[in-house]
Amino acid sequence: MVEFKAWLRFAYDDILNCKEILHNDTLTNVVAFHSQQAIEKSLKALLLYNEHDVPKIHSLNKLFKMNSNYVKINNKIMIVDLLDKLYIESRYPSSFGLLPYGKPTLEDAKEFYDFALEVFDKVCDMLEINKEELL
C-alpha cells in the first residue's frame, strides 16, 4: 500500500507552499486554500493507510468524521468549519478565499497553517513517515 504516501507527498507540497507565502498579506487566501488542501490530503492518506476507500469529497468535517477512530480535532471545530467554507467558496472568483468578514488576515492564515501542519505531522507520526521521505 504505497498510494497513501503519494497523498502525503502532495499534502507536504501544500504545507511547503504555505510556509513560503505565510507572511505575505496579499496571499492570505492562498495560504487558507493550501492549508485546507494539506489537511484534506493528509486525512485521505490516513483513510488509505487504514484500508478505506478515498471518497471524492472535499469537506474536512466529513473527512474528520470518517477518520474519527484515528484522529481527533477537539477544540478545532471552528477552524475546520472556516476552512470548509473557504474551500467551497474559493471555487468562485468573486469570493475567492473570503471569510464572512472578508479576506483572511495574517493571523488567520497563520492559524490555518499551524492547524494544517499539526494535522499533517500527526498523520505522518501515526503512519511512521519521515517528512524527508516525501521530498
Got the DSSP string for 45-82? HHHHHTT-PPPS---HHHHHHHTTTT---GGGHHHHHH
Task: Look at residue 91 and tell me whether its pLDDT is greater than 60.
Answer: no
Task: Look at residue 94 and tell me whether its pLDDT is greater than 90.
Answer: no
- Average pLDDT of the chain, as a whole number: 90
Q: What is the pTM (predicted TM-score) of this model?
A: 0.91
Residue 85: the pLDDT is: 81
Residue 96: the pLDDT is: 58
Residue 98 banded pLDDT, cuts 50, 70, 90:
low
What's the CATH number for 3-134?
1.20.120.330
Least confident interval from 44-48, 92-96, 100-104: 92-96
Residue 135: the pLDDT is: 86
Residue 89: the pLDDT is: 55
Share of the chain above pLDDT 90, in %: 74
- CA 48, 50, 55, 61 torsion-angle sign: negative
Per the CB < 8 A criterion, the answer to whether 46 and 71 are in contact is yes
Residue 1: the pLDDT is: 47
Task: Look at residue 67 and tell me whether its pLDDT is greater than 60.
Answer: yes
**What is residue 39's three-state secondary structure?**
helix
Q: Nearest to residue 84, comparing CAs of 123, 45, 33? A: 33
Q: Nearest to residue 86, comparing CAs of 16, 26, 22, 33? A: 33
